[in-house]
Amino acid sequence: MEIKKIGVVGAGTMGHGIAQVAAQIGCEVIMRDVEDSFVERGLKNIDKFLSKSVEKGKLDAKEKDAILGRIKGTTDMADFKDVDFVVEAVIENLDLKKQVFKELDEICRPEVILSSNTSSMSITEIAAATSRPDKVCGMHFFNPVPLMRLVEVIRGYYTSDETIAISTELAKKMGKVTVEVKKDSPGFIVNRIMIPHMLEAIKIVEEGIASIEDVDTAVKNGLNYPMGPFELMDLTGIDIAYFVTEYFYRELNKESKWVSPNLLKTMIRAGRLGRKTGGGWYDYSK
């Protein structure tokens, strides 16, 4: 199956990044969000990233223009009627994702694969909102999409081998390293390992054992990680860490290790969600 045109639902941090890497391999892209302002912001962020690549000599101006020319922004889901593949990248809300997939199922051709960029939620449950569960899979990219190499390709209960093969091949064309998640389980591989690290880091600060800065310094220099847990939460969104933790608690037998620390809840209530709001564990307002 040749994939020439890709639909991306969501123009936020993940959505516009996925749209960019799709356009970079020569695909036409339809990037949709609920408001024109969100679409325009996504397009501007793609332009900004590509402009920096031109400045660094990694891309020439003609290539940049060609990539941007392959991306069309829209607020109309009906524009997906002739796409060959879809990646959904809306917020981590299961009911919203199911609503989106139900609508995509009615609009897209029967043979089109519908994939979700969810970082933790059940592909099987999302697929149940469609009449094509065999053509639904997870395709979890990492932030920032143009730079991070990994894509987790996730099976739902009914996902076919063909769907996994096509989705894996597409990710590899985008220059990504792929891993297959063979069983639909909360958090898949990376988040199942990463979230406990983040929760313990928050508890260490909450208990007064060490500062945010020293926890990050310790992890970077003691474990050789490129970023500390607080820096990473600020980059990916503190709200995402919270949503995933709450989902784990509900889905994984309500084990105490998945209870959100009070400090994490306080950050959410204060609207300090990380870089995207100008402040999280660190201040980015300057």
What positions carry a catalytic annotation? 119, 140, 152, 191
What are the C-alpha distances in Å from 91 to residues 26, 105, 136, 183? 27, 19, 18, 23
Helix (H, G, I), strand (E, B) or coil at 217: helix
d(CA 255, CA 208): 24
